[in-house]
Amino acid sequence: AAGVIQSPRHLIKEKRETATLKCYPIPRHDTVYWYQQGPGQDPQFLISFYEKMQSDKGSIPDRFSAQQFSDYHSELNMSSLELGDSALYFCASSLGGRGTDYEQYFGPGTRLTVT
Amino acid sequence: GENVEQHPSTLSVQEGDSAVIKCTYSDSASNYFPWYKQELGKGPQLIIDIRSNVGEKKDQRIAVTLNKTAKHFSLHITETQPEDSAVYFCAASIKRGNNRLAFGKGNQVVVIP
């Protein structure tokens, strides 16, 4: 079965640079969630989209922005990168949106290293 | 907001024995509780979930139980195998947060051959 695709898998950037992470949800899934996972930590919710509209916002820095496109893929844009942004970034996709508890399936993640 | 606590933080079991991980949550409005298995360098893999209208769910060697009154749920793995070694996360969906997941801190399970 098709899974969530994330690209790139690894990314190395310098401080103050910009990074763009991409997520391609499972076909027919209309909801995308972004999570950040630090070393030895649990995933922390950043932001989500349902039907191309932002549906929820968590602990996402103002330096980060995201959007979901007409084909349901999503991009997380990160600017003015800081050392503390080094982490694994996961995208998860699901069916449905508000008020519906559908399963969230995670992608393999993008490992961002800021030097 | 929702607070999910997970115990123990590490668990070592002999191959063939059972492993149990317990989680508690704080928001009584939560009604969906998935469990994820994460291997090193990989994304969390959904292994089983339970909704609040069900008290127990089983899938082969894994099972999850839910006590809504006490606000805790547990993962049970029977006949453990070396490939069960991983970090296991419990989570609860936040209804007011468009079903975003709040995760526990994770549990490192080591199955000793």
Closest Cα in chain B to A47: B100
Write down the pLDDT at residue A99. 54
Sorting pLDDT into bands at 50, 70 and 90, what band is A100? Answer: low
| pLDDT per residue as tens digits for the range A8-51 | 999 999 999 999 999 999 999 999 999 999 999 999 999 999 99
Which tokens in the block code for residue B113?
A: 């051959």
B105 contacts A42? CB cut-off 8 A: yes
Q: What is the pLDDT of residues A76-85, one digit of tens each?
A: 999 999 999 9
Nearest CA in chain A to B5: A42
CA dist list (Å): A82 to A12, A87, B100: 12, 11, 25
Kindly determine whether residue A45 and residue B49, on different chains, have CB atoms separated by under 8 Å: no
* Residues B46, A94: C-beta atoms closer than 8 Å: no
Give the distance, in angstroms, between the CA of residue A80 and the centroid of all CA atoms in the same chain. Answer: 17
Read off the pLDDT band of A63 (50, 70, 90): very high
Neighbours of A112 (CB within 10 A): 21
pLDDT of residue B40: 92
In chain A, the largest separation of any two C-alpha atoms, in whole Å, equals 40
pLDDT of residue A98 exceeding 60: no
pLDDT by 10-residue block (mean), chain B, 113 residues: 86 97 92 95 95 91 96 97 97 81 96 96
Q: Which residues of B touch A90 (CB under 8 A)?
A: 43-44
Amino acid at A95: L
